[in-house]
Amino acid sequence: MNDQEPNIIIYFQYAFNGIKYALITQKNLRIHFLITIFIFVFGIYLNLLPIEWCVLILSIVFVIISEIINTALEIIVDMISKEKNGLAKNAKDLCAAAVLIPTFASVLIGIFIFLPKLVAKAQILIQ
C-alpha cells in the first residue's frame, strides 16, 4: 500500500466523526435514533418477518441519511451566507423538506407493518 493513500480505517474514522458530530449537534437526529431503538424493540416483540425488517431498515436509513445530508448542507449554506438571505433560506427549507418527505413515508411504512400486527395481538387479548 502506498504511504500517500489513506487507509480504510481513516475513512471509517471520518465517517464515525460525522455521525458523532451529527448526533451531538442535531436534536432531530437523536430523536430519530431513539425512535429507531423503540421500533427495533417493538419489531422483535411483534416477530416481524424478514421482508418487514428490510423495509423498515431501509426506510429508517433513508431518514437518517436525509438528516445527515441536511445537516451538511445547512453548514455549507451558513459558511457561504453569513447574513440573512432569501436564497439561503430557500436552500435550508428545501433541505428540511428532503428530510420531512422520507420521514412521512417511514411513518406510513410503520403503520402498514405494525398496525395489522397490533390489531391481531389486540384480538388475541380480547378473546
Q: Could you give the C-alpha distances from 82 to 17, 69, 77, 115, in angstroms and in order?
A: 25, 20, 8, 46
Our answer to whether residue 67 is catalytic in this structure is: yes
- Neighbouring C-beta atoms of residue 19, cutoff 10 Å: 14
**Burial label, 66 (beta-carbon count in 10 A; 0-12, 13-18, 19+):** buried
Which candidate in 52, 67, 74, 83 is catalytic?
67
Q: How far apart are CA 77 and CA 1, in angstroms?
A: 37
Compute and round to an integer the Cα radius of gyration of the chain. Answer: 19
Q: Return the active site residues.
A: 67
